[in-house]
Structure 1
Amino acid sequence: MIQQERLIGEFMELVQVDSETKHEEKIAQVLRMKFTELGLLVQEDDSKEKTGHGAGNLICTLPAKGKGASAPKLMFTCHMDTVLPGNGIKPALGEDGYIRSDGTTILGSDDKAGLAVLLEGLRVLRDEERDHPQIQVVITVGEESGLVGSRAMDPKWLDADLGFALDSNGAIGGIAVAAPSQQKIFITFSGRSAHAGVNPEDGVSAITVASRAVSKMNLGRIDRETTANIGSFYGGTAGSTNIVCDKVVLEAEARSLDSDKLNRQVESMRTACEAAAAEMGATCEFRSHLLYPSFKFSDDAPIVGLTKRALARVGAVAKTFHSGGGSDANVFNGHGVPTVNLSVGYEDIHTTKERIKAEDIVKLAEVFLALIEEAVQTGSAD
């Protein structure tokens, strides 16, 4: 049975361990100790060398027990890093049932609520000697830095039939069954400098070229599954208005649930850039790469059905939705482990107003145990 006081106390403990993204060394040590004490084999991959972050990803494995030996192997994933400002967090439980920081930092429920839930759920499995399938807990670094930890992880570490990320916004019961892939785009326009007052006609303004290219692009909401955005536009030298700017750099992105649509959007942006450069006698370098793949499950997919049944066990209302952002679930789906992202209940994340209801952390722990029970029952039925 979930012990609320113990669970909330552990959550409070975890958020007070500084772990801003790129500086995960302290929290990694704490988590290694906690999961080892619960009987899991804890291993750290070599992603630290690739990412430059404070630790590698932790892969924690608990062998199956009893009837769980015939059940599908389950993976649960959370990330150990937080956004800034995340050092010196002082959490407090208010009379309204919400846990908040003191307002000078974030709270860190994204994603330490998920970590606390996994620890409590595993503790219940151990103390009550419940049957369970093999459980793999993957705790990533650098999720807040663009999923760098999961993207640097070798797929060989994964050993699961179904996966659950505990890392989505929304009320408990939410199931993110789809999320878009993202292409990161870097564009450099090179024109020709000249004196803006003496001989401007001899110059080619990269700012003008880039502006014309952007004006030709279809940006924002392209369709129900596709978006695109110019995130930054910079060039020239502050105060140097007497020089025709000869270089401008743009950083952009495109996202879509459909890979063909994503490719068409990126190519249309490339075409707009190359056309503008050709028209004005400039050059353009257009580079793009896929950050992570998309995923999309129908409501009758086995993983969705199992999740809905588990939610029903604890009286939570299941609601499937399509997310507009990426998560580690995207990466693990790309590696062949069907993974959905479950709502944790946190609110106003990535701000100093972040908060989460204590009762939602408890409810999510109940969901974790219900997922285990459903998996065991599924294995027994098979």
Structure 2
Amino acid sequence: MTHDAKAALDRLMRFLLIEGVTGQEAAIGADVARALVEAGVAADVIGFDDANTRIPVPTETGNLIVRLPGRGALSNSPPLMFMTHLDTVPLCAGAKPRIDGERIVSGGDTALGGDNRTGCAVLVTLAAELARQDLDHPPLVLVFCVREESGLWGARYIDLERVGPVAMGFNFDSSKPSDIVTGAVGADSWEVEISGRASHAGVAPERGISATMIAALALAEAQAGGWFGKVVKGGKAGTSNVGTVAGRGGRAAGDATNVVTDYAFVEGESRSHDMAFVDEITNAYEAAFRNAVKSLPNSEGKTGSITFTRHRKYHAFALDPSLPVVAHGAAAVSSLGLTPNPRLANGGLDANWLTLHGIPTVTFGAGQNEPHTVDEWIDIPAFQDACRLAIALATLR
């Protein structure tokens, strides 16, 4: 597969310069649409769905969906979907990308945004090269999702009617193009509101019930029981994290050192490739908080209370290696002289939801490295390989 490598790199640098943190994808979505038109895609096949009206958190725009008609000998083949996501994590705001040898690095104290502007550039390059080289290909649907970084919301609420029927999907959102991600973890998010009892910490601390101490005891129990961080129990494996410890309205837990804290809020997550084990991890945290409440009565025998809430963020999936989507992906990787490496991911992907929607989807890398950190960088040769891989996936007979 050949392509205009300079044009591809120019697109990537262009997209990296446009801010578009999760939930605020209007500007990058509009520029990707412009770039597609510049690449020869007809404006009337480019549009946005209304997922943002159904996503339960503020979101500027819907998913960008592009429907390319088939061409030539492959025009009547089953349609294929290519996807990526538009948003970046907030740490990428204000990124100043620069090329350093065979890498793109951040020129400031921010992350770079290679996750996932690399995917955006790959899909636009695919459309550009299909037009420039007049290549035969099946009908294609290009999907650029919103709010991937904050919970896979765009993929969850995508307008499947606008996508239309497709045989299989290829997602670009990782590091190495030779990696074929055939499955990923599922996850719960959970939160707990802890209600204690305020009292004067100097005059009558024994009458108070500290919400902060209940949180501390609960988290200590979870840690001691092996439920925090990497979790391995009886052959099952997963992870958990405590992400936020706060007070009302996002303020600090507690208002003053001389008042026993009467309210605290804690939120975290549980992950595993086994959804039953996701439930076990979350159950362990809930039990720890309930035990902590009982263990901390005040001098009058009163105890605090908790409200524990869990949400299923996304479901785990694992594609059968014999499925056509896996075989097609492996054949395309091999056609570039690379060695296919099927594997599972420990992070959630838009492919989690597309597979649940009935579109078996595998994920490939496009040169991302150390995402979500100020040390993030993009491997330019890997990015160029991803562009060639997309063309191979779209044109392989």
**How does the TM-score come out when normalised to structure 2?**
0.87
Runs in 1 of length 4+ with deviation above 4 angstroms?
235-239
Of 265, 286, 290, the match for 1:274: 290
- Does residue 136 (structure 1) correspond to residue 141 (structure 2)? The answer is yes
Other structure's SS at 2:90 match: coil
For residues 205 and 215 of structure 1, the distance between their equivalents in structure 2, rounded to whole angstroms, comes to: 15
- Does residue 38 (structure 1) correspond to residue 41 (structure 2)? The answer is yes
Of 42, 55, 58, the match for 2:64: 58
Other structure's SS at 1:143 match: coil
**CA 212–62 in structure 1, closer or farther in 2 if over 3 Å, else same:** same
- Does residue 93 (structure 1) correspond to residue 77 (structure 2)? The answer is no
Trace 1:175-214 onto structure 2 (pairs within 5 A). Answer: 175-214=180-219
Please name the residue that 1:250 is paired with: 266
- Does residue 233 (structure 1) correspond to residue 236 (structure 2)? The answer is no
For residues 375 and 289 of structure 2, the distance between their equivalents in structure 1, rounded to whole angstroms, comes to: 40
CA contact (8 A) 2:254 2:261 kept: no
For residues 351 and 23 of structure 2, the distance between their equivalents in structure 1, rounded to whole angstroms, comes to: 20
Other structure's SS at 1:273 match: helix
- Does residue 338 (structure 1) correspond to residue 341 (structure 2)? The answer is no
Q: Following TM superposition, by how much is the alpha carbon of 1:251 offset from its aligned partner in structure 2, in angstroms?
A: 0.5
Please name the residue that 1:222 is paired with: 231
Please name the residue that 1:80 is paired with: 86
Q: Please say which of residues 130-139 and 82-91 is displaced more in the overlay.
A: 82-91
CA contact (8 A) 1:22 1:53 kept: yes
Trace 1:295-306 onto structure 2 (pairs within 5 A). Answer: 295-306=317-328
**CA distances 1:95-128 after superposition (whole Å, capped 9, x unpaired):** x322223234433222122221222222222232
For residues 342 and 327 of structure 2, the distance between their equivalents in structure 1, rounded to whole angstroms, comes to: 11
CA contact (8 A) 1:103 1:353 kept: no
Trace 1:17-32 onto structure 2 (pairs within 5 A). Answer: 17-32=18-33
- Does residue 260 (structure 1) correspond to residue 276 (structure 2)? The answer is yes
Alignment-mate amino acid for residue 165 of structure 1:
N
For residues 180 and 228 of structure 1, the distance between their equivalents in structure 2, rounded to whole angstroms, comes to: 12
**CA distances 1:213-238 after superposition (whole Å, capped 9, x unpaired):** 22332222123541122222234666
For residues 62 and 74 of structure 1, the distance between their equivalents in structure 2, rounded to whole angstroms, comes to: 10
For residues 109 and 213 of structure 2, the distance between their equivalents in structure 1, rounded to whole angstroms, comes to: 42
- Does residue 293 (structure 1) correspond to residue 296 (structure 2)? The answer is no
The count of aligned residue pairs is 373
For residues 352 and 327 of structure 2, the distance between their equivalents in structure 1, rounded to whole angstroms, comes to: 19
The runs of 5 or more residues in structure 1 that have no matched partner are 378-382
Other structure's SS at 1:145 match: coil
Alignment-mate amino acid for residue 277 of structure 2:
K
Q: Please say which of residues 112-121 and 15-24 is displaced more in the overlay.
A: 15-24
Other structure's SS at 1:216 match: helix
Question: Percent of counterpart pairs with the same letter?
Answer: 29
Trace 1:316-331 onto structure 2 (pairs within 5 A). Answer: 316-331=338-353
Q: Following TM superposition, by how much is the alpha carbon of 1:89 offset from its aligned partner in structure 2, in angstroms?
A: 4.1
- RMSD of the alignment, in Å? 2.2
Q: Following TM superposition, by how much is the alpha carbon of 1:342 offset from its aligned partner in structure 2, in angstroms?
A: 0.8
Q: Following TM superposition, by how much is the alpha carbon of 1:57 offset from its aligned partner in structure 2, in angstroms?
A: 0.9
Please name the residue that 1:380 is paired with: none
Q: Following TM superposition, by how much is the alpha carbon of 1:283 offset from its aligned partner in structure 2, in angstroms?
A: 1.0
Q: Following TM superposition, by how much is the alpha carbon of 1:139 offset from its aligned partner in structure 2, in angstroms?
A: 0.5
Please name the residue that 2:300 is paired with: none
For residues 219 and 89 of structure 1, the distance between their equivalents in structure 2, rounded to whole angstroms, comes to: 33
CA contact (8 A) 2:254 2:263 kept: no
Q: Following TM superposition, by how much is the alpha carbon of 1:209 offset from its aligned partner in structure 2, in angstroms?
A: 2.0
Alignment-mate amino acid for residue 4 of structure 1:
A
For residues 214 and 18 of structure 1, the distance between their equivalents in structure 2, rounded to whole angstroms, comes to: 37
For residues 6 and 237 of structure 1, the distance between their equivalents in structure 2, rounded to whole angstroms, comes to: 51
Please name the residue that 2:335 is paired with: 313
For residues 200 and 112 of structure 1, the distance between their equivalents in structure 2, rounded to whole angstroms, comes to: 54
The runs of 5 or more residues in structure 2 that have no matched partner are 297-302
Alignment-mate amino acid for residue 203 of structure 2:
V
Q: Please say which of residues 140-149 and 184-193 is displaced more in the overlay.
A: 140-149
Please name the residue that 1:108 is paired with: 113
Q: Following TM superposition, by how much is the alpha carbon of 1:239 offset from its aligned partner in structure 2, in angstroms?
A: 6.7
Please name the residue that 2:3 is paired with: 2
Other structure's SS at 1:17 match: coil
Q: Following TM superposition, by how much is the alpha carbon of 1:308 offset from its aligned partner in structure 2, in angstroms?
A: 0.9
For residues 357 and 213 of structure 1, the distance between their equivalents in structure 2, rounded to whole angstroms, comes to: 43
Other structure's SS at 2:260 match: coil
- Does residue 47 (structure 1) correspond to residue 57 (structure 2)? The answer is no
**CA 272–357 in structure 1, closer or farther in 2 if over 3 Å, else same:** closer
**CA distances 1:125-161 after superposition (whole Å, capped 9, x unpaired):** 2232222111111111222222232233233333322
For residues 250 and 225 of structure 1, the distance between their equivalents in structure 2, rounded to whole angstroms, comes to: 23
**CA 161–231 in structure 1, closer or farther in 2 if over 3 Å, else same:** same
- Does residue 350 (structure 1) correspond to residue 372 (structure 2)? The answer is yes
Alignment-mate amino acid for residue 184 of structure 1:
S
